[in-house]
């Protein structure tokens, strides 16, 4: 798995974390703390771009939930964008589509959460 951090194009205060590969137990143990850390460091909030994630395990879901909890505690929005259908299905099965905010793309997330 790889992670790339950048700023949102339309709002430089919002961090975008692009994940790629498999978000399995090994990746969650390795990168989960970094995801939470990026939430803490983001000025205005975080967007998780899952476009290149082709698999997510329960450990990966937990890592994202920990980031969500950190964002909520810091009163910062957290959005998930571009989750591919097989990955989104896992969130839906776990009923996490009711907890996390999912958007088609960065522009939609920015418009909804950072007007």
What one-character DSSP code corresponds to residue 11?
Answer: -
pLDDT digits (tens, 9 = 90+) for 7-18: 898 899 999 999
pLDDT above 70 covers a percentage of the chain that reads 100
Please state the domain count of the chain: 1
Q: What is the pTM of this model?
A: 0.94
Burial of 93 (0-12, 13-18, 19+ CB in 10 A): exposed
pLDDT (0 to 100) of residue 115: 84
Q: Which residue has the higher pLDDT, 5 or 78?
A: 78
d(CA 31, CA 19): 10
What is the rounded CA–CA span in Å between residue 31 and residue 58? 14
pLDDT at 58 over 90: yes
Residue 81 is predicted with a pLDDT of 98
**At residue 66, does pLDDT exceed 90?**
yes
H/E stretch holding 14? none
Beta strand 15-23 pairing with 46-56: parallel
Secondary structure element (H or E) that encloses residue 96, with its range: none
Q: Which domain holds residue 84?
A: 2-113
CATH assignment of the domain containing 67:
3.30.750.24
Dist CA 30 CA 89 (whole Å): 24
The confidence score (pLDDT) of residue 30 equals 93
pLDDT reading at 1 higher than 90: no
Banded model confidence at residue 21, pLDDT cuts 50, 70, 90: very high
User: Is the distance from CB of 24 to CB of 55 less than 8 angstroms?
Assistant: yes
């Amino acid at each position: 798995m790889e992670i790339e951090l950048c700023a949102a194009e339309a709002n430089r205060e919002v961090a975008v974390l692009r994940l790629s590969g498999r978000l399995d137990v090994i990746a969650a143990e390795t990168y989960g703390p970094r995801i939470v850390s990026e939430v803490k460091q983001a000025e205005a909030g975080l967007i998780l771009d899952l476009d290149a994630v082709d698999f997510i395990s329960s450990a990966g879901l937990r890592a994202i939930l920990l980031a969500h909890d950190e964002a909520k505690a810091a009163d910062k929005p957290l959005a998930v964008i571009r989750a591919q259908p097989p990955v989104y299905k896992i969130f839906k099965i776990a009923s996490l589509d009711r907890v996390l905010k999912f958007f088609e793309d960065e522009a939609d997330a920015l418009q909804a959460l950072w007007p």
